[in-house]
Amino acid sequence: MNCRMEPIQREQVIAKYLSRVLEADAVEEFEGHYLGCDECFDELRVSEKMAAELRRSNLTWRRSGGISVLQFSHDAELTRSAGELDELRREVLEQSDTRVIIDLSRVTRIDSAGLGQLMSCYSHLVRNHGSMRVVNVAPEVKKVMDMTGISSLIPAFSDEQEAVKSFN
């Protein structure tokens, strides 16, 4: 492996290396060059930082009145191509909590895939004798939820404390 590879080829090799799926003999060759070449080492470090940023979670969990609250740290889209969609599903399905509030205040768009994930989370919680609420839903997201009838299944609240009280 050397600097003379096409840029896309180099990125593919770096991605495999960082994902630990590069074959053993290729790892040795890769490290022999990339760790000894200043230019390539810098490229590797930049790729590592970008990968770390992409893996950083946009979701945070906290407790409020004995209820789990899931909140997006920064603006998010619940659309087919958005990473937050899988992150949301994984967070809800892997938690043992059965009473969950999802704060949608930072969700700027939702499509059928996002609605499907909300329903998947809702169904999972109901199957496990729990329930789900959403809070702070943006008007454009609320409109889509109303049009599809999802808001008749998943209660929406404008205030988190109101949502917490609704579980009692």
Which domains does the chain carry? 7-55 (no CATH), 59-165 (3.30.750.24)
Q: CA angle at residue 29 from 22 to 3, to 5 degrees?
A: 100
Give pLDDT, residue 142: 94
Give per-residue pLDDT as tens, 71-81. Answer: 998 898 898 87
Reduced to 3 states, what is the DSSP secondary structure of residue 12?
A: helix
Give the position of tokens 């050397």: 2
Q: Record the pTM.
A: 0.66
Residue type, 72: F
Instruction: Give me the half-sphere count of Cα atoms (radius 13 Å) on the Cβ side of residue 9.
Output: 7
Residue with the larger pLDDT of the pair 105 and 39: 105
